[in-house]
Every structure is written in C-alpha cells, then in structure tokens.
Amino acid sequence: MNKLLFKGALLSLMLVGSAGAQSQDGLKVFISVDMEGITGTVNVDDVRRTGKDYDYFRQTMTREANAAIEGALAAGATEIVVRDSHGSALNLLPEMLNRNSKLLRDWSDGPMVMMEGIDASYDAAVYIGYHASAGTPNSVLGHTSSGDVTNVSVNGIRMPEAGYNALMAGHYDVPVVFIAGDKAICDEAKALLGNVETVAVKEGIGQAALNLHPEVAREQIRAGVERALRNLDNYKPYKLRAPYTLTLTLKTEKNINKGALYPGAKRTGDWELTYVGKDVLEIMSAYKGMRR
C-alpha cells in the first residue's frame, strides 16, 4: 500500500471511530405525554375517545409532543423516545409525530406505565400534557392515576403522577428537566422536584380554564425544552431514601378490600392501604397491583 492509500485508510478509520463515539455520547431524551394538561382540554369528554372533540385534541397533543421534540433536537438530542401516556396509550398520531423520534404505544404488564422504556441510558426526561394530583384546587382535570384514587404518598410526600414518575426516572439516575401542563401541576412539580423548567399552558378557574393560544403554547414548550436540555447540569434526579413507604387512599370499600389482597399490603386507615418496599420499582409494582 502506498503512502497516499495508507493515509486515506487511516483517515477513514478515524472518522468511523469518531462517529461511533459521537453516537455513544449523544444526548438521549425520554418524553412522556399525557393529555389532560394539553392546551385547550378542560372537560373529560375532550380526552376520551367517545368525545366529539377528541380527534382535535389528539392532534393538539401530537403537536405539543412535536414542540418538545423540536426543542430537544435544537439542544443536540441524538435519540428521542416518546411514550404515549394517556388512557389507552393509543392517542398520539404516528404519522404526525416528528420523524426524528420513536413512539412507544399501548401498555405492558410492568410497573413503569407512563415511564415504560426509560432506563439508565437516558440523559433527561420531559413531561408534556401533565396535570395536578386529585383534589388540587384550580387544577384542570386533576386526578391521580384513575378516578378510584384520592391520594398517593411516598415516605409521607403527596405525589402527583409527575412525582412518582420522577421517582422512577430517578431510580435510573435520570433527571426530570421540563414539565408542561396546567399551572397547578407546574406549581406542584416545582414544590416537589425543586429546580425544573415548566410551561403553564393553561390556568384553572374553578371548573373552567384560561388557555394560551396553541401556537404560543408550542413556542414556549419548544424554547423551554431546549433551554432545559442545554443546562442539564442544573438538574438532579429525584430520589427519596429507602425503605419506601407507599400510602394509597381509594374511594370505595370494595377497592380497599381488593387492594388489601396484594401480598405485603396492609390496611392502615379509612380506605387507606400501606406497602413498604426496598426500591422504587417494588412499590410501583405494588401500587399497580393494589389498584386492580
């Protein structure tokens, strides 16, 4: 091999090695998308398949997911996974979703639910369309998991869905850096997680909601996600100390009796169940099992 050919071959090997290193070191982002916190949704029918405006709002949901994806790409993301986290988990429109992402649809039998697919390979988690916990004043469509749950706490700390989802991300040392939804969840998330970038796309006024224009909401989501991901060092994974004490309050005697059959669950009060576990995934498995 002459010197020119040798240099060309060496350069090719260096480029291949460099590309591989860049791929391994790229920014990997997990985006969980719910629907009650999307711009404009205010009534239960807005987020149900049988609702007359559901098809419109699933488009809005997909567009807000795209805004988050665009923000992540602008910050240098090389891999993005979007988790459909509402209801049937079959809401986001695949053809409309930004092609630079992968979409996870439907539910599995594991404990991760809205965080299905996350692991230690991710650099950050982003929540779009999230809502406050059940009973939060001036929340828009506020609830926790299902209509049967009135409260969830871990180690005595009241948890919205964003809270225990952040614990699951924290289990893998992944920080939650951005949340978009109604003002109530933005306030709740800041009080719980500390430093987290938020965009309130609407504000509850009793049963009503004052909304941003959808285009404005998307602009703010795009900018907020990019800003958060460009400043990853500002955010820390959300963690609590083991052992983990899960306390669950349900609405009916029937559901409490069923939940108490889960191995390790104990009835500790009026319509209240408690489970103590060694790690986050164990208590989330119990949470899922006690609600069946």
Annotated binding site: 34, 36, 86, 131, 161
- Helix, strand or coil for residue 117? coil
DSSP lists the bridge partners of residue 144 as 146
Catalytic (active-site) positions: 143
Binding site residue list for Zn(2+): 34, 36, 86, 131, 161
Pairing of strands 157-158, 27-33: unpaired
H/E segment holding residue 3: helix 3-24
Cα separation, 33 vs 105, whole angstroms: 11
> Each residue of 9-24: b (16+ CB within 10 Å) or e?
eeeeeeeeeeeeeeee
Helix, strand, or coil here: 93?
coil
